[in-house]
Amino acid sequence: MAEFCFVTVWRIEAPLHQVCEAVSRCLHWPQWWEGVEKVEEFDPGDESGIGSLRRFTWRGRLPYRLTFDMRVTRAVPHRMLEGRASGEVEGVGCWHFSDDGGVTVVRYEWQVRTNRLWMNLIAPIARPLFKWNHDQVMRRGAEGMARLLNARLLSLAHG
């Protein structure tokens, strides 16, 4: 399996609670996040969303789709949301939120392994393309959120 660790930071001129709500309401992502083709809910989890299970289908700029399930494992309102992925990718995704003087800082950490044979076979040479594709998906998310919230995207960084 090929392993990847992606870090993306968005700085959005929007209230923290609005940004957190947009991220938490992932069933609505296909309406504003280009690249999210479908989100299906299998289990809503408890009142804070812990245990919720959703299936995501993504399409980036490269000509392939990824489908995986994500179960929420931890949540701290307006601070952090973490889930464990299984399916075509396996691993952990964690959203971190903070306020910096009226600017919301969103840090997303995505540590995954691929389960698709073709991806694992070409990963040694295609790793930069997979990273570029992930970065493009995250760029579309930041831009879509800014439009959704009628806010300015001040910066976007990838690690």
> What pLDDT, in 10s, does the model give residues 68-98?
999 999 999 999 999 999 999 999 999 999 9
**What residues are paired with 7 via a beta bridge?**
109
> What pLDDT, in 10s, does the model give residues 96-147?
999 999 999 999 999 999 999 999 999 999 999 999 999 999 999 999 999 9
Whether the per-residue pLDDT at 6 is higher than 90: the answer is yes
CA distances from 75 to 24, 29, 46 (A): 10, 19, 11
Residue 1 lies inside a defined structural domain of this protein: no
Average pLDDT over residues 31-59: 96
Tally of domains in the chain: 1
Whether the per-residue pLDDT at 150 is higher than 90: the answer is yes
What's the CATH number where 66 sits? 3.30.530.20
pLDDT for the residue 1: 82
Residue 2 lies inside a defined structural domain of this protein: no
Residue 118 lies inside a defined structural domain of this protein: yes
Whether the per-residue pLDDT at 48 is higher than 90: the answer is no
Q: For residue 85, what are the domain limits?
A: 7-158
Greatest CA separation for the chain: 46
Residue 26 lies inside a defined structural domain of this protein: yes
Cα–Cα dist 72/42, whole Å:
12
pLDDT for the residue 159: 80
Residue 87 lies inside a defined structural domain of this protein: yes
Neighbours of 65 (CB within 10 A): 13
Structure tokens at 106: 């969103």
pLDDT for the residue 53: 98
